[in-house]
Structures are given as structure tokens and as C-alpha cells.
Amino acid sequence: MRGFSLKEHGITVKDILRNASPAVLYEQAILNEVDSKISSSGALLAYSGLKTGRSPKAKHIVKNTNSEKDVWWGNVNAPISQEVFQSNLKCVLEYLNSCQRLYCVDGFIGWDQKYRIKVRIIASRPYHALLMWNMMIRPTPEELSDFDSPDLTVFNAGVSSADPELDGITSKTSVDLNLESQEVTILGTEYAGEMKKAIFSYMNYLMPKQNILSMHCSATSDKKNKHSSILFGLSGTGKTTLSADPQRPLVGDDEHCWTDEGIFNIEGGCYAKIINLTHEAEPEIYDALVYGALLENVKYNEETRQIAFDDDTITENTRASYPIEFIDNAKIPCIAGHPSDVIFLTCDAFGVLPPLSRLTPDQAEYYFISGYTAKVAGTEMGVKSPQATFSPCFGGPFLVWHPSKYAQMLSTQIRSHKAKVWLINTGWSGGSYGTGSRIKLSFTRAMLDAVYSGSLEETPTVIDPVFGLEVIVNCPNVPSELLVPRESWTDKNSFDQTASKLGNLFKENFKQYENEVTDSVKLAGPR
């Protein structure tokens, strides 16, 4: 839509493409951005420049008397003043007003219309507009004509740099959220995922304020839409992969809310990590990478334009964005009933956590706040052996309130709706990384199938002596020797030492949260 004005936002540019179609944005990207191409499958290829991932240390929230008591200040939410925000906003507007053409995307966040908000994206790059066209809920022509003042506006001037001399700004990259003015400014990074996660951060403030639990998780529904299941997990644990299940309708792959009526997806699309993607392992995602999809920072064959999914030359964080309806069995609208199962996914590179265990509500709160997974060699510079990573609520960089608030809300929902809670280790067995082997995806899928079917109700269990978890020792289509991790290790002493080491890492990490939880939650961790 041309002839649209953004004067109310301080933007004087006259050539604004509002809610341009993917075809127009493809054309704009190819004409105006040297590296943009069309892949052999029909997806647009785009590149984010120097930054190929999020910059969590560059996230700031404006400190204001109306909201400062709500915010979990510290490493996750660094404060800046209203004056500094205005300086960055001025820099953003100066850059955007220097552009000949801008791209505006107006859309909705939240499939449940009772909690839906209107979001406006203003960007200088067509690829940024395409990503957010995919990721937001796309309005009908009638809804767009009635789209008045947005509830949140994101100004993306990532091509321009922030001023590191400003108080609280530590680099040329700055992603700033103003809760009072409902604005986000982006400077110094062209990584498109910053827009998506800035919106999620805002929802992580807004929803709990309305007593709605916002969650960094994927979700599926049973075919009768009576119950749903939610899967929490950090990058690399299988959250997106395991939610793309041909037997279960997909509610969403990354961000959801849990209300008194059930769950709803926050987003209108998916933003999947596609390094080493294969049709055999993830056919639903592979088949979604067609016209309208966006491929970010991937390598390809110059002659055929076929994607080199196993090439991490640019980044290990290669991404694909596509509307959720590109998944054949997506549940539209993306709303489902209360979860019958809450699943925590962890990729334990130490190889000591059980592949499948059941948690009490107190354990659920403990392990949710902990948000554990492990990095392995090759995923980050300087990582030579397994390193424990703890990200509270499996989404630390996007939280606004203290983690205990989200954990207590989750515990309340679990108890109220009698949901079962499971911990599934998608990492290593038979030894740590370098000695053992990664648990096969087919085994993990078999565990999930057993969870969903309810067949584990009467199955035998044992209590893990270190982590206190109720370990499932018999699961259809999974080797029994895999299910009790100590039994799969040749060197039992080494297993005991490694398990003790990881247990102590959990304890040390949890000390920072002990004052905000009940005694029963404190005692629910490793022994």
C-alpha cells in the first residue's frame, strides 16, 4: 500500500510500502540489496551482515517510576534513562528519514483476540519487512483499514549505529524497549530476529501484568483439540523439531501464552534454525521453505541456488522464517485447550540426566527456573568440553519480571489443570560429549509418543539418586539400557563423578533464586 504516512511517528519519508506482498518484497530485496537471491525452492535468501545472532548484552529497558518495580534489573534488563532513549530514538529517526523508501508492516500479536495487540514495524530493509510479515498475524484488508494507533511500534534502523558514549550504552549496538511509550528502537544490528524477540520481551511484561503466563515454548494439540502439550527448551534441544509432528496439529514453534481458557500462539509464523536440516528428519519444516519463506544467512550453490544446509561458514545460526500455515498440519487459529503435558527439553552434553523422567510440581518450578542445557565444542568459540548453560524459564534474555514470577504462574497452572510434567534429555548417552553418543531423534520421538498416549501411567520408575527425578525405565520403542543413564556408561565411577559435578552446578546456579521461592522448591533440586 503506497501513499501511507508515518508522520505521527516523526517520519517524513513519502515513499512507504505498507504491508507489501511477499512478491513485492522479493522484488525490492533483489533490486536494492546486492546479496539477495531466490533459492531453488522459491524462498528469498537474505543476509544480516556482521551480526548473525542476537546481541543480548545490548538490550535495554527505560527505567521509569511506573514500571521500574516490576522489572528484573541486571544482566538481562539493563536500565537506561528516558533521555538516553530519546537520544537513540532521534538517531533512529534521522537514519530512517534519510532513506528514499521505507517498509511498514502492521499486524497482530496473539491469536486470542481478547489479548491480541497491534504491532507496527518500520524498517529500511525489505528483508526485515518480509520476516515480520511472516512472523506476525497478518490482518485481513478489513482489519488493516481499521488498524489505528498501534499498541507497540518497532523502529528498525539497524544499519545505523548507536552512540556508545551515551550513559548505559556500551557498544554501537542497542535494542531499547520503552514500556511507557510502547516503542522499541534498534541500532547497530541488522539481525532480523531482534525484532521478533523485542516484541516477545514486551509480551513477557504485558501478559503477566494481566495474570497471563507468557512462555518461550513450542506447542501441539491432540487431533480432537481437547488437550495441548507444550515443549520448553533452549536452542539446539529440539523444541522446533519435535513440535513439527505429523501426528499432532502444530499450535506454534516458539512463543505462547497460557490463560484460564487454554493456550494461544503469540506469533503468526515460525523462525526455525535450519543448520543440518534434512527432509528425512524434519519434512514439515523442509517443505515449508518455498515462495514466501525467508532464508537468513545460509550458503547456497551459485549455479543451482540449492541450499547447503550443512554449511556453517556464515554462522551456525542459519534461520528460516515462514507463515505457520506453510506447515501442513498447523492448527489455524493457533489456539488450543489446556496442556495435559508440560515437557522440558534439555540437551545434556554431560550425558548424566535421564532421557525421560517425571517431575513433581515443585521440581517443575525448580527445573523451570534453572532452564538447563549444555554447550558442546564447536557451537561457540573456545568451547572445548561440555559447559552447563542455565537460562531461567528457558528464555532468560526475554524475561522482564523476575523468573520466580513466571515459575510460580507455571506451577499454579500445572496444579490447577493437573498437567503432567516431564524432563526429556535429547543430549548424550553412554558418556559425555566426545565419548558417548547423541540420543537418536527416533528414540526421543518414541518417548514423546508414549507421553502423549498416556501409556506411561503404570510403567515402572526409579528415583535418580543425584537429581531426585522419577526416571521412566520402560518405554515402547526405546532400548531399556538407554533409559537409566548410569547403566549405559562403561565407566561407572566416571559417571558418578560427572553426575555429582552437574548436580553441584545446578545448586550453585540456583542460589541466586533461593530467596524468591518456597522451601519445598529449594529442596526439589539435586540432592
Could you give the CA distance from residue 416 to residue 55 in angstroms, rounded to a whole number? 37
With contact defined as beta carbons under 8 Å apart, do 275 and 285 qualify? Answer: no
With contact defined as beta carbons under 8 Å apart, do 377 and 384 qualify? Answer: yes
Got the DSSP string for 5-70? --GGGT---SEEEES--HHHHHHHHHHH-TT-EE-TTBPEEE--TT--S--GGGEEEE--TTTTTT
Phi, psi of 400 (to 5 degrees): -120, -45
Mark residue 276 as left, alpha or beta (left: phi above 0; alpha: psi -120 to 50; beta: remaining): left
With contact defined as beta carbons under 8 Å apart, do 252 and 266 qualify? Answer: yes
With contact defined as beta carbons under 8 Å apart, do 252 and 105 qualify? Answer: no
Is 235 known to be catalytic?
A: yes
Is 138 known to be catalytic?
A: no
Q: How many CA atoms lie within 13 A of 90 on its CB side?
A: 8
Phi, psi of 242 (to 5 degrees): -75, -20
Catalytic residue among 37, 54, 338, 375: 54
CB atoms within 10 A of CB 522: 17
Cell of 393: 524459564
Could you give the CA distance from residue 278 to residue 468 in angstroms, rounded to a whole number? 37
Catalytic residue among 106, 254, 341, 464: 254
Is 216 known to be catalytic?
A: yes
Catalytic residue among 59, 197, 375, 402: 197
Identify the three-state secondary structure at position 202: helix
Catalytic residue among 319, 358, 375, 402: 319
Is 375 known to be catalytic?
A: no
Is 224 known to be catalytic?
A: no
Neighbour-count burial of 166, counting CB atoms closer than 10 A to its CB (0-12 exposed, 13-18 middle, 19+ buried): middle
Could you give the CA distance from residue 239 to residue 216 in angstroms, rounded to a whole number? 10
Catalytic residue among 18, 216, 256, 358: 216
Catalytic residue among 81, 181, 235, 379: 235
Is 358 known to be catalytic?
A: no
Catalytic residue among 240, 373, 404, 411: 240
End-to-end CA distance of the chain: 61
Catalytic residue among 37, 138, 239, 256: 239
Residues annotated as catalytic (active site), given as ranges: 54, 197, 216, 235, 239-240, 254, 319
